[in-house]
Amino acid sequence: MGCGTFSPRSARCARGREAQLVIVGDGPLRAHYEGLANDDRNVTFVGAVHEGRAAYYAHSAIYACPITQGASFGITLLESMACETPIVCSRIPGFRDVVTHEREALMVPPGDDDALADALIRLLDDETLRARMGKAGRETAQRYGWPEVTASVLDVYADVLKATSRR
């Protein structure tokens, strides 16, 4: 898990929304987050999922990743985008390299519970925005597919070989 500090329960109750929060993943802070959830029936801890993660993304209205630090690259963002699931995530360097605010994701300042809640509510309330962001995310994710990545790597090797042969 390790998604930073947030309080989905208080954010939801303060704004009068009902939503099901499914937390997929595990880590040393799980007990802490379970304590924050305080047996809330709207919060489910799934634990580690090694196969079938795509089903969680595909069956979600929104993928939220409010991590506060430490993400060098947004692979989970790409997984979500491949399933056309819109994203709310922290505005951190690794994520800014993968998504653009208002295009594939709504980005919020790290650790800002109110901004996180506002972004989630905005997406929950706007089906058109969710669909637009989902489609944009799918297009972006396709640029990271193996055929495209492999072609880019081969282009780099070809450039290096050309430069070496000129010497």
**Domain CATH number, residue 121:** 3.40.50.2000
Instruction: Evaluate whether residue 110 is within a structural domain.
Output: yes
Instruction: Evaluate whether residue 1 is within a structural domain.
Output: no
Range of the domain at 73: 8-166
Record the tokens describing residue 30, joined without a space: 């799980």
Instruction: Evaluate whether residue 121 is within a structural domain.
Output: yes
pLDDT in tens, 15-37: 667 788 999 988 898 999 999 99
Total count of domains within the chain: 1
Instruction: Evaluate whether residue 2 is within a structural domain.
Output: no
* pLDDT for the residue 48: 92
Instruction: Evaluate whether residue 47 is within a structural domain.
Output: yes
> CA–CA separation, 91 vs 103, rounded Å?
14
Instruction: Evaluate whether residue 3 is within a structural domain.
Output: no
> What pTM does this model have?
0.78
Record the tokens describing residue 95, joined without a space: 């994520």
Q: Which of 80, 91, 74, 78 is nearest to 24 (CA)?
A: 80
Instruction: Evaluate whether residue 134 is within a structural domain.
Output: yes
Residue 95 near residue 77 (C-beta atoms within 8 A): yes
